[in-house]
Amino acid sequence: MHELVAEVWRSEFLESVHHGSVVALDGAGGVAFAVGQPDAAMFPRSSNKPLQATAMVRAGLDLDGELLALACASHSGEPFHIDGVRRILAGAGRTEEDLRCTEGLPIGERALHGYLARGGAATPLYMNCSGKHAAMIATCVRNGWPVETYLRPEHPLQRAIRDTVEDLAAERVAAVGVDGCGAPLFALTLTGLARAFGRLAASAGDGAEGRVASAMRAHPEWVGGTGRDVTSLMRAVPGAVAKDGAEGVYAVGLPSGAAVALKIADGSGRARPVVAAAALARLGVPAESLGELATAPVLGHGEPVGAVRATI
């Protein structure tokens, strides 16, 4: 059902392949092209975060700029990310003790090495979803909702998030699971996910969608971090709103309302940005804007000896 979307070449030898599904929508919301099974339900994982943040802004979350971008983030755990999480919590009169996300370590290589060298251990604060969880707590405080139970699917916050996800995707949630961070996870089709990102990226002004899109565009390093491909993509492609997700998911919206969403079937992250770049190129994004995102080097003894290449 999935189709071949990327090949891994080493020393002019085809070493591995990746299958997956991809959908691209034009500015009117029509399907520009599709590969695999874009209308099958899947878990978007962290690609849902901008949709969750939009729901929180609709519910009164009073964040903008880099802190709103951090609410959409799978951050690398760099010092400025951690400081930002603490600022969100402090603004709500709360502390990191209120975080209910899973314990974690920085996911940025440099940040991880520095943190471990200082004797750091896994904590909820350093989990890559802690910005989203801090924003969830702040939204609860704003509305007088219970904080201790904010992760329960029946909580008013999670019901509001589900309603917004369904509104932006223009489809019903197909299943509810538990994400790696402990938050409820809402399943969509790739087409629905792309539709939601197209709406976000085409939004302007001070509405919830426009505020989220503006924050992500202005502060891409807060959405990912140093050396992260999602940060590089938003810097490289004017007006793009992008979010990576675990298990090989990627979603990108463009200011025209066009959008791309994809899932690598085996869950690998290495083919994800390469396939996203190929899909954006097919939508007309100039190759010079995509630059290094179009291929990923395969290393031998520390030197490039091949590449991951999209086949779509």
pLDDT, residue 205, reads: 87
Among 5, 1, 2, residue whose Cα is nearest residue 312: 5
Banded model confidence at residue 194, pLDDT cuts 50, 70, 90: very high
The distance of Cα 116 from the centroid of its chain, to the nearest Å, equals 26
Alpha-carbon 15 to chain mean position: 29
pLDDT tens figures, 271-301: 999 999 999 999 999 988 898 899 999 999 9
Residue 46 has pLDDT above 90, yes or no: yes
Q: What is the pLDDT of residue 291?
A: 86
Residue range 218-229, pLDDT digits in tens: 999 999 999 999
81-99: pLDDT as tens digits: 999 999 999 999 999 999 9
Contacts of 83-91 with CB under 8 Å at 24 or more apart are: 84/131, 84/222, 85/125, 85/130, 85/131, 85/134, 86/125, 88/63, 88/131, 88/134, 88/135, 88/137, 88/138, 89/134, 89/137, 89/138, 91/62, 91/63, 91/138
Question: Domain spans of the chain?
Answer: 3-310
Q: What is the pLDDT of residue 287?
A: 87
8-42 pLDDT, tens per residue?
A: 999 999 999 999 999 999 999 999 999 999 999 99
pLDDT at position 186: 98
Q: Across residues 245-249, what is the average pLDDT?
A: 98
- Interacting residues of 166 by C-beta distance below 8 A, sequence separation 6+: 172, 173
How confident is the model at residue 292, as a pLDDT?
A: 86
Per-residue pLDDT band for 134 (boundaries 50, 70, 90) equals: very high
254-265 tens-digit pLDDT: 999 999 999 999
Closest Cα to residue 213, out of 240, 195, 174? 240
Give one DSSP letter per residue of 125-192, joined into a string. Answer: GGSTTHHHHHHHHHHHHHHT--STTTTSTTSHHHHHHHHHHHHHHTS----EEE-TTSSEEE-EEHHH
Q: pTM above 0.85?
A: yes
Name the fold adopted by 3-310.
Beta-lactamase (3.40.710)
- Percent of the chain, pLDDT > 90? 96
pLDDT (tens digit, 9 = 90+) per residue, 139-158? 999 999 999 999 999 999 99
